[in-house]
Structure 1
Amino acid sequence: MAEYSLEDLNKKLAGYLDFELSDAPTTDINTALQISEFMESKGYGFRLKDLCPKSLTESSWRAIFTHGDTEFTAENTESAIAVCSAALAALEAGQRVLASRP
């Protein structure tokens, strides 16, 4: 997946959504989870995994969206950023598929 600034990531995600977000999704896990619910309503599976479950000082998260046999995964120390990055990868891939259809 391409690397984006947080501002660009928020803007690109907003372009795919058919609803307004209350906060920047990369800064608020509740808002990021609204995006995961949107994705699930479009047929994607979603998982968020804590990669450091026993650590009190370290944080690392993996967000995974699945569609059929395809996985879109992102990891970050911030859970909201992981969710948003994986969601954007899935949405962009879906857009490329739609654009390539006759």
Structure 2
Amino acid sequence: MSEQQIEELEKELAQLVEAEIPAHPAQDIHDALQVADKLESKGFSFALKDMCPKSLSETMWRATFSKDGAEFAAEHTHSAVAVCTAAVGALKN
């Protein structure tokens, strides 16, 4: 994902959350987890799974938000991007 795409993702996320979020949640997992906390306070459940737990060279993360039987998930090599992408999907629906 390019730097511009990450900036667009963060901008869209900030508009959808309707609360103050860290400046760069798609670039830092600690900031992304703060966003996940905000969604959990809105009734979403959250899970982050390492899809390559035994690999020393490959990474893939799956972030999932669910609410009222609906599930919104995203996978990415960077955990923070996966969390933010899944959060945008959850908030758009």
TM-score (norm 2): 0.91
CA change 1:72–1:24 in 2 (3 A) is same
* RMSD over equivalenced CA pairs, Å: 1.2
Query: Structure 1's 81 and 20: CA in aligned 2 closer, same or farther, altered over 3 A?
Result: closer
Confirm whether residue 91 of structure 1 aligns to residue 84 of structure 2. Answer: no
Q: Equivalents in 2 of 1:8, 1:46: separation in Å? A: 23
Offset of 1:15 from its aligned partner?
Answer: 1.1
The higher-RCO structure (CA 8 Å, 6+ apart) is 2
The SS at the match of 2:54 is coil
Distance in 2 (CA, whole Å) between partners of 1:47 and 1:68 is 15
2:30 is equivalent to residue 30 of structure 1: yes
Deviation at 1:43, TM superposition (A): 0.1
Q: Which runs of 5+ in 2 are unaligned?
A: none
The answer to whether residue 20 in structure 2 is matched with residue 19 in structure 1 is: yes
Structure 1 residue 39, shift from structure 2 partner:
0.3
One-letter amino acid matched to 1:82: A
TM-score (norm 1): 0.83
Displaced runs of 4 or more, over 4 A? none
Unmatched 5+ stretches in structure 1: 94-102
Match of 2:6 in 1: 6
Which has more radius of gyration? 1
In structure 2, the partner of 1:70 is 70
Which residue identity lines up with residue 39 of structure 1 in the other structure?
Answer: L
Q: Which amino acid aligns with 2:69?
A: D
Distance 2:85 2:15 in 1: 14
Shift of 1:40: 0.3
